[in-house]
């Protein structure tokens, strides 16, 4: 009987942890979902060898406030920028023709899709609008509070009111994060 109680406790105790993750989908899935229920798309462009990319997974993408916000307002895509996935985007097919399977865990050739989106550093968060138009690539490691600034900037279309660097600088300086550290 004690064994059953222990197993039930372990199973039930792990449910909240499993439920507290970002709902990652493939790029093709995000585009299909966007047609049914419009949301903007957030793409985490990472590589398997990138240390800051692993820090994002460990530190930023585990923040419960960030998880809830992303899951509610975005379709989240985790895309290996040096992988071999095929992506169909804007009537084009993107692949990685120079991909080498023996380099899967090391530096490999850049994927055509990552180059198309202007990604040249890892990690890069790419934001796409409701019609999958490119809003901006944001390179570099971001804490949950740093990423919150961009999540809200693009979600609320605040970026449309900014016509120069000074306007963004003002937004940046006055932004007060609400995500827990």
Percentage of the chain beyond pLDDT 70 is 90
Per-residue pLDDT averaged across 167-175, rounded? Answer: 96
Q: How far is CA 54 from the centre of its chain?
A: 13
The sign one gets for the Cα dihedral 89, 120, 148, 18 is positive
Tokens found for residue 49: 């060898």
Q: Using alpha carbons, select from 103, 109, 53 the residue that is nearest to residue 78.
A: 53
Q: What is the pLDDT of residue 105?
A: 87
Per-residue pLDDT averaged across 116-137, rounded? Answer: 97
Q: Using alpha carbons, select from 51, 34, 22, 2 the residue that is nearest to residue 129.
A: 34
- Domains located in the chain, CATH noted: 19-174 (3.40.30.10)
Per-residue pLDDT averaged across 69-82, rounded? Answer: 98
Mean pLDDT of the chain: 91
What's the pLDDT tens digit per position in 9-47? 444 444 444 458 999 999 999 999 999 999 999 999 999
Considering the entire predicted model, what is its pTM? 0.87
Q: Using alpha carbons, select from 65, 163, 74 the residue that is nearest to residue 171.
A: 163
Torsion angle of C-alpha atoms 6, 7, 13, 17, degrees rounded to 10? 150
Indicate the pLDDT class of residue 1, thresholds 50, 70 and 90.
low
């Amino acid at each position: 009987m004690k064994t059953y109680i222990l197993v039930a406790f372990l199973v039930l105790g792990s449910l909240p942890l499993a439920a507290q993750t970002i709902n990652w989908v493939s790029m093709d899935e995000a585009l299909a979902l966007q047609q049914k229920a419009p949301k903007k798309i957030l793409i985490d462009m990472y590589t398997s060898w990138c240390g800051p990319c692993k820090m994002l997974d460990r530190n930023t993408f585990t923040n419960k406030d960030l998880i809830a916000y992303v899951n509610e307002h975005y379709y989240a895509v985790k895309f290996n920028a040096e992988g071999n996935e095929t992506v169909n985007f804007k009537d084009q097919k993107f692949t990685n023709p120079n991909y080498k399977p023996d380099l899967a865990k090391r530096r490999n050739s850049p994927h055509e899709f990552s180059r198309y989106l202007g990604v040249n550093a890892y990690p890069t968060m790419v934001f796409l609008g409701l019609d999958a138009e490119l809003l901006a690539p944001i390179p570099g490691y971001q804490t949950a509070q740093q990423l919150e600034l961009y999540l809200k900037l693009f979600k609320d279309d605040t970026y449309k009111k900014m016509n120069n660097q000074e306007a963004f600088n003002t937004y940046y300086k006055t932004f007060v994060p609400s995500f827990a550290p």
